[in-house]
Amino acid sequence: MLWFTTQLIVATESKTLKPLIETSSRCFTSASQNKEQLIIYATSQKVAKSIINSLCEDTVVTKQYGEVRGFWGYRTADSIEFVGKGIADLILAKNNIMSAFKAESTYNYQPIVGFPSYTAFFISAKEKPKIEKQYFLDKRIGLLDYPTSRSGHILPKQTFKELGINLENLDVTYASSHSELRELLANGEVDIIASFWKNTDQQSFSKNYITPISNNIIGTRWYLKMQHENTDLLCAIQINLLALSQSQTSTYFNHVEPYWQCSDSGAVFLGEGDD
């Protein structure tokens, strides 16, 4: 009972904290007299706006909320702001960030759906990268300037360490996004980047010139803050997230795995796959 009371106090306090990120959109349900807000955070404007508009029309959401408000940000720092303070009711985040802040135990965030696991690669424009110490020493390398990015930061640096390479001896250029990394490589400003591989990358690069760093990296997940056993809301949100996924053109983002089995009697947790 004490634990449950503590969770409600923490959740109430965190709801009053103003997010540092100001990029947001909102919509109102048909329950205009209800002052309750359903707060959502996503990593892109398109995703955030799509899901808030969908949820505003959902009958379950309408019974519980008068407004759905969505925030978005493209930096890891934005995710950290929301995860660390438990601001969002529904959040799209990496599991390593959730684990770092113990968000699942602190705020009782539950995974709803998850994107597939993926592989991190070293990608070159002119040759297949070699996982050898001497190979990297004379290369211009592009990494992501986010310490929490596994494919663009953590795993390549881990590889360099395992090879006995001091980062100070490498020519590293840091980019603010995976797209910027690809621009650096396409423009000849770096020789190698660390990232994931997309089908559209074949338009600019050769799949013969990629070398895996690590596979089976856990994909991003949608988490719902479960202050109560609100299974009606959980199932409604899962249905909307699955529908949103199916509308995506990307072969990665249009495939998500549901973690709950919903029925008229409630919801049963299925697990998080083989991640």
> What average pLDDT does range 217-234 have in this prediction?
91
* pLDDT score, position 23: 77
Mapping DSSP to helix (H, G, I), strand (E, B) and coil, where does residue 264 land? coil
Mean pLDDT of 201-216: 93
Are 213 and 122 spatial neighbours (Cβ–Cβ below 8 Å)? yes
Looking at the predicted structure, is the pLDDT value of residue 76 above 50? yes
Residues 96-116 have pLDDT tens digits of 889 888 988 899 999 999 988
Q: How confident is the model at residue 251, as a pLDDT?
A: 57
Residue-level pLDDT at 253 = 65
More confident residue, 21 or 149: 149
The arithmetic mean of pLDDT across residues 220-244, rounded, is 94
* pLDDT of 12 higher than 70: no
> Residue 90's pLDDT is what?
97
Tell me what pLDDT residue 22 has.
Answer: 53
pLDDT surpassing 70 at residue 16: no
Query: What local confidence, expressed as pLDDT, does residue 3 receive?
Result: 41
Across 41-45, 139-143, 187-191, 228-232, least confident range: 41-45
Percent of the chain exceeding pLDDT 70 equals 87
**For the range 211-214, what are the long-range contacts, defined as Cβ-Cβ under 8 Å and sequence gap of 24 or more?**
211/121, 211/122, 211/128, 211/129, 211/130, 211/131, 212/119, 212/120, 212/121, 213/119, 213/120, 213/121, 213/122, 213/131, 213/151, 213/155, 213/156, 213/159, 214/119, 214/120, 214/150, 214/155
pLDDT score, position 249 = 61
Structural domains of the chain, with CATH: 2-115+220-269 (3.40.190), 118-217 (3.40.190.10)
CA atoms within 13 A on the CB side of 63: 6
Least confident of 22-26, 178-182, 208-212: 22-26
Q: Flag whether pLDDT at 87 surpasses 80.
A: yes
- Determine contact, residues 66/35, Cβ cutoff 8 Å: yes
What's the mean pLDDT in 170-192? 95
The most confident of the ranges 65-69, 98-102, 199-203, 225-229 is 65-69
Higher-pLDDT residue of 5 and 162 is 162
How do residues 233-247 score in pLDDT, each as one tens digit? 999 999 999 998 887
Residue 14 has pLDDT above 50, yes or no: no
Give 19 or 66, the one with higher predicted confidence.
66
The residue type at 189: E
**Percent of the chain scoring above 90 in pLDDT:** 59
Mean pLDDT rounded to a whole number for the chain: 86
